Amino acid sequence: MSATTLTPPLNLEADSRISLRSHIRHTGALVRRNLLWIRQDPESMFDAVLMPIVFTLLFVYVFGGSIGQALGGGQDQYVQYVVPGMMAMMSMNIAMAVGTGFNQDFQNGIMDRFRTLPIGQGSVLFAKIVVELMRLLIATTIMMIVGILVGFDITNWPGLFAAVGLTALFGTSIMWIFLVLGVVMKSAQAVQGMGFLVLMPLQFGSSIFAPTQSMPGWLQAFTDYNPLSSLADSARGLMVGGPVTHDVWVTVIWSAVLTLVMAPIAIHKFRTKN
């Protein structure tokens, strides 16, 4: 004989009466809970710590010579090109971890407990966003340190901080998409599989790793509308010089639209999930 565990229905009316101050307090408590969980499971930080090291070394030393020659300056020129662009890659890869972790919390029953507590339900999602932003900043810092060690020269320090802020803004908007996937997909493996199907074309069909001028015409048309190209070009212009205004505005608009569309969907799906 089998038993079925049912999640008690959420009191959405009570949730709507929770004040903004209470929402902030609940978010802070859940951020602390997530950080304590990371402390208990430091392996969960491997992607944020090791991924920027591996990818930076891989692309600089495997592709740096050939692509750098095409840029007219060898490996040193490619370092100046690829390190700022890889900020865009970090934002996408860390964002995918939000969805897989969120789905695992559902599978483990943790979210069922949160959904029955007298807290603002949106606080659960906002806490996830805050913690993943911290992980994104750690990954970006490590990537910049490795980049400097392999020869990257920061010519504009205020531009560096502006690029990090822009990356965090865009990364946040992508996290809302993966939170939706974390709610609606049936397993963390499904979230990860769907994430790779989205990430691979966006990352390699962009200006992150190589200039787009040599790409086929149809692919260049795709890269022109790819927000990762705008983010990579923005970071490159802010950190090493070049035009930035258009790309910055495109990135900000993409971030605002994705957040305005996906954040309400994520919160609604979370509240109504059975």
**What is the tens place of the pLDDT at every residue in 213-234?**
878 888 888 988 899 999 999 9
Amino acid in the structure at residue 6: L
pLDDT at 174: 93
**Which of left, alpha, beta for 78 (phi over 0: left; psi -120 to 50: alpha)?**
alpha
What tens digit of pLDDT does each residue of 184-194 get? 888 888 888 88
Q: Per-residue pLDDT tens for 142-164?
A: 999 999 999 898 888 899 999 99
**CA 112, 118, 121, 122 torsion-angle sign:** negative
Contacts of 150 (CB under 8 A, 6+ apart): 56, 57, 60, 61, 79
pLDDT at 12 over 70: no
Q: Looking at the whole model, is its pTM more than 0.75?
A: yes
The CA–CA distances, whole Å, from 19 to 8, 13, 31, 42 equal 23, 13, 18, 34
pLDDT of residue 274: 67
For residue 138, pLDDT over 60 is answered with yes
Residue 3 has pLDDT above 50, yes or no: no
Reading the block at residue 45, the tokens are 């930080």
